[in-house]
Structure 1
Amino acid sequence: MKFKDQFQFVRQNMGKNKVRVFMTMLATAIGCAFLIVLASVGFGLHDSLIQNTMQDRAVTEIQVHGKEVDGSYQSLTDGDIDYFESISGVKAVTRNKRLQQSPVFSIDDYQIQTEAMTTDFPSELEAGLELSEGRLPEKDNEIVIGYDFVSNLKKNTVSDEELTNEQGEIKEEYQYDGDLIGKEIEMKVIQIEDNEEKSHTIPLTVTGITEAPTREWFQDQSVYISESVLKEVEQFTGTDRGMVTTPGQEDLSTGQQQEDFYDQVTIYAENMEVVQAISDELENKNYASYSVVSEIEQINMIFTIIKTGLIIVGTIAVLIASIGIYNTMTMAVTERAPDIGIMKAIGAKPKTIKRIFILESGMIGLAGAIIGTAVAYIVSMAVNFALPLILESISKEELPPELRFSMIPWSLVLIAASICLLVTVLSGLRPAKRATQIDVLKAMRREV
């Protein structure tokens, strides 16, 4: 008996009991849809978190915090920078020295208190730094300011209560509305001496403004000063990085380091593929580093466990549907006993008979998987459309645009279809085996 004839025979017999077969397919489809929709929540949240992580941080960025030597961490120096730049796959190494106080920057009646730092602009350019306006500094008294510096300049003659709105933002009428490029601003730093606050003012000229941060929630209002300005601040305060000493606090200038160090060092890889190799090399050299790849690996591990658990739970629904398949196939064997007897009488092998019934259970499972997948996609789209609206109406806050509560990749469809087919075929094995054991004479007399 050819496979084509076996398939035709199965179709004819399934057509004789359309309602029963349809209900069995429906139960299988519901189980398959439940499995896919349940697991799709894990896939959707996983994808959203990965996208959010990769959007918030540069994927080729590796932050190096220090080096472990004899059980303690040491700050990074020029020697470490040279080593980082020699590593294969490294595109650029940026480094900063931060003032240990937040100076007050003022122009006319406007001022802002924010952080100041030095940076190596050639390495920043290699890493992808761009300016929204102006140019890079060429003299010691020239600076670059962050994109949000101007919007946070506020009138110093207005009280804080009147200055801000209900959201804590500076009212538009009190914001600086001029162009700072080429303008001179004053940086004021302080130090405590004999219980008195003393200040020192340094005039600086703005030559450039950085581009807007890629992260919408992040604000860049930093000021990038030169090494000579940093040294002038240190000379005034008498401390490393311009730290302000309070009465009773040790003067850190008495124990200044023999070698200059950096407060923040960031390595930029040529591409994402080499980030892990660079991180591994840093780890072997006892450097404390962090990259988004490390975070993604942890996220992947956690969500792999979650998705596996959801698939297992969803499989229970398919197993429940398998009871209906077993019942349908058992009834089919009983009803088709005469047909089985005839096939045996004309020489059909038990293997052929068994294959016919397994084929039928497999077709039911395949049809259920197709219908279930279609239903799952419809439910998934409905969830992604309706659930954010419901949550936004309840919380009164807008959800992130990249947030997806449900996602159905092809891998999930293949997993669900495979589970569905496997369960349905296994459900039809015992009835198929029983069909091969039917006695020909009893079957012809309809005694089965």
Structure 2
Amino acid sequence: MKWKDRFRFVRQNMKKNRSRVFMTVLATAIGCSFLIVLASVGFGLQKSVVADITEGRLLTQIMVHGVKESEKSFRQIGDDEIGYMESQDHVKAVTRRYGVQQSAEFRIGELQGHGQAVVVDMPSEAKAGFELAEGRMPQQDFEIVIGFNFAESMLTPEERKQMEEQRQDNADAEEPAAVKGEKTVSDKAKSLIGKTMNVQVVQRFGEETKSFAVPVTIVGIGKAPSREWLQDRYVYIHERVMKQIESFTQTAYGAMTSKNPEDPAPESLGQPRIYNEVYVYADRVENVKSIVERLKTANYATYSIVDQLDQVNAVFLIMKIGLILVGTIAVLIASIGIYNTMTMAVTERTPDIGVMKAIGAHPRTIKSVFLIESAYIGIMGAAIGTAVAYAVSFAVNLALPQIVRGLLDSNPPEGLRFSDIPPALTLICVAISLLVAILSGVRPAVRATRVDVLKALRRDI
């Protein structure tokens, strides 16, 4: 018997028992759909968590906290360590930052404000991908970049007075909307580009307090933070600006001496420079792990988002395997229906089996006919179940935010995806459904090959 004849024979017999076959296919479809939808929860939540973790963060970024000297002791990063990290293979850039150890005052005409001045190495920042929302990168030592939200902290005396009065009238009053992480550069911020700003610090000399100002030129505005609640009010300055501040304060990092003689004295000048924030950037994501391993071998304390993602993915992998195993139970329940349908098919077609045996059909041929039929049922059930699963997944993702808002009276996390069906999941679930369907038909198919020819051809008169 040719294969096309086998398929034709199977279709003809399935048409004779449409109702029974339909119910069996329906049970298989429900089992497959349940399996896909249940497993899709794990994929959807993983996608949401990973997106939340990686939002606005570079996968090639490695944070270096310090160098481990003992079990409980760490040494901060200095220039020697920076040179070592820059010499490593596949390292694109090493950024380092440290700040002025007092709140500086910034003045542009009548505008004034207070904030943190941070020393950065602009060439390494540019290599690492430091982006601007407006303007250009500094090209001279006394050119600076301001943070995205810095301009909103620069107020005239009248504006500051009005703000103080408003705070006194209503302690719970919200800040102006402009301060809340807007994503477009304000006209006020744009107007600061090209202007000269005085970075002013103070120091105590005995009983006298003196101030000192370093004029700098604003040439760029940093890109907005990736998160709405983050505020970038820093002023990014060059090492030369810090040295002028230190020459005035006579302390390292421009630290201010305390009025209380019992307080620890600020660090004196001439000490090796240490950095508060150090980041290593790999040239490719694939090289992050190898760089981290080399740094850890050299006793560097590191953190990489890739490490966190590995842990998250491991947890969700276990979760997805568990969900697939639970969903497979539904498919196994549907296999009982397939087994019952195939057993009845063998019983009803005993005369046909006898005829095939009488004309010399090989047992493998008879067995394949019933396996093809069970596979047909599995394929049709898997196809219908997959279509239903995609529809259910779409409906759940569409309706879930509305349900959360209605029941909890709050908005769900932005970008939450409760269900996600990647192609790999569909293939796995369809393969499971098809395999279970074929296995359900194995025993009835074997039984068909053992039918006695004489009994099969006997007719009751």
Q: What is the TM-score normalised by the length of structure 1?
A: 0.88
Would you say the 8 A contact 1:109–1:156 is kept in 2? Answer: no
Q: What's the counterpart of residue 438 of structure 1? A: 451
Counterpart-to-counterpart distance in 1, 2:323 and 2:124: 47
1:186 touches 1:201 (CA, 8 Å); kept in 2?
Answer: no
Instruction: Quote how far apart the aligned CAs of 1:149 are.
Output: 0.5
Structure 2 residue aligned with 1:250: 264
Residue 127 to residue 171, structure 1, CA distance change in 2 (3 Å): closer
Deviations 1:107-148 (A, max 9, x none): 456544332210111111222234344444566654321121
Query: Structure 2 residue aligned with 1:369, among 382, 387, 403?
Result: 382
**In 2, Cα distance between equivalents of 1:126 and 1:283:** 24
**Per the alignment, do residues 147 and 344 of structure 1 end up closer, same or farther by CA in structure 2, a change over 3 Å counting?**
same
Q: Distance in 2 between matches of 1:308 and 1:373?
A: 19
Name the CA shift for 1:161/1:12 in 2 (closer, same or farther; >3 Å): farther
- Mapped to 1, the partners of 2:76 and 2:68 lie a distance apart of 9
- Report the identity percentage: 49
AA partner of residue 235 (structure 2): V
Corresponding position: 1:276 with 2:277: no
* 8 Å CA contact retained: 1:110, 1:176: no
Tell me: CA distance 1:189–1:354, structure 2 relative to 1, closer, same or farther (3 Å).
same
Measure, in 2, the Cα distance between the counterparts of 1:382 and 1:96.
48
Q: Does 1:28 align with 2:39?
A: no
Query: Cα 1:160–1:321, aligned 2, differ >3 Å: closer, same or farther?
Result: farther
Give the match for residue 123 of structure 1: 124
The 1:227/1:216 distance shift into structure 2, 3 A limit, reads same
SS of match in other structure, 1:334: helix
The 10-residue stretch of structure 1 (125-134 or 392-401) with the greater mean CA deviation from structure 2: 392-401
Q: After TM superposition, give the deviation of residue 187 of structure 1 in Å.
A: 3.9
Q: Tell me, which stretches of 5 or more residues in structure 1 are unaligned?
A: none
Letter in 2 for 1:180: L
Q: Which string of whole-angstrom CA distances, capped at 9 and with x for unpartnered residues, describes residues 170-206 of structure 1? A: 3669x99472234344445466899x99563424334
Structure 1 residue corresponding to 2:174, chosen from 168, 177, 197: 168
SS in 2 for 1:158: helix
Change (3 A) 1:159 1:54: closer
User: Aligned pair 1:293/2:306, yes or no?
Assistant: yes
Counterparts in 2 of 1:31 and 1:127: CA distance versus 1, 3 Å: same
Select between 346-355 and 2-11 the one with higher mean Cα deviation: 346-355
Unaligned runs of 5+ residues in structure 2 are 180-185
Question: How many correspondences in the alignment?
Answer: 444
1:365-398: CA deviation from partner (whole Å, max 9, x where unpaired):
1110011011111111112222223334555655
1:33-432 map, 5 Å: 33-71=33-71, 72-107=73-108, 110-137=111-138, 142-154=143-155, 155-160=159-164, 162=166, 168-170=174-176, 177=188, 179-189=191-201, 198=209, 200-213=211-224, 215-217=226-228, 218-234=230-246, 239-243=251-255, 245=258, 247=260, 248-253=262-267, 258-394=271-407, 399=412, 402-432=415-445
In 2, Cα distance between equivalents of 1:70 and 1:94: 25
Quick check: 68-77 or 154-163, which moved more?
A: 154-163
The CA deviation string for residues 345-381 of structure 1, in whole angstroms up to 9 with x for no partner, is 2222322222221211111011100110111111111
Provide Cα deviations, 1:272-316, integer angstroms capped at 9, x if missing partner: 222222222212222112222222212211111111111111111
Q: Is the 8 A contact 2:97 2:121 kept in 1?
A: yes
2:138/2:220 contact within 8 Å kept: no
1:69 and 1:438, CA in 2 relative to 1: closer, same or farther beyond 3 A?
same
Relative to structure 1, is the Cα distance of residues 417 and 349 closer, same or farther in structure 2, using a 3 angstrom cutoff? same
How far apart, CA to CA, are the structure 2 residues paired with 1:431 and 1:190? 92
In structure 2, relative to structure 1, the CA distance for the partners of 1:148 and 1:404 (3 Å cut) is: same
Q: Note if contact 2:48-2:415 (Cα within 8 Å) is conserved in structure 1.
A: yes
- Measured after TM superposition, the shift of residue 5 of structure 1 is 1.7
Q: 1:102 corresponds to which letter in structure 2?
A: S
Moved more, 179-188 or 159-168: 159-168
- Contact 2:93-2:124 at 8 Å conserved across structures: yes
Over 3 Å counting, the alpha-carbon distance change for 1:124 and 1:206 in structure 2 is: same
**Partner Cα separation in structure 2 for residue 257 and residue 333 of structure 1:** 94
TM-score, normalising length: structure 2: 0.86
SS at match of 1:156: helix
In the alignment, is the contact (CA less than 8 A) between 1:145 and 1:206 conserved in 2? no
Q: Choose 257-266 or 236-245, whichever is displaced more.
A: 236-245
1:14 has 2:14 as partner: yes
* SS class of match (1:157): helix
Separation (CA, whole Å) in 1 of partners of 2:330 and 2:175: 52
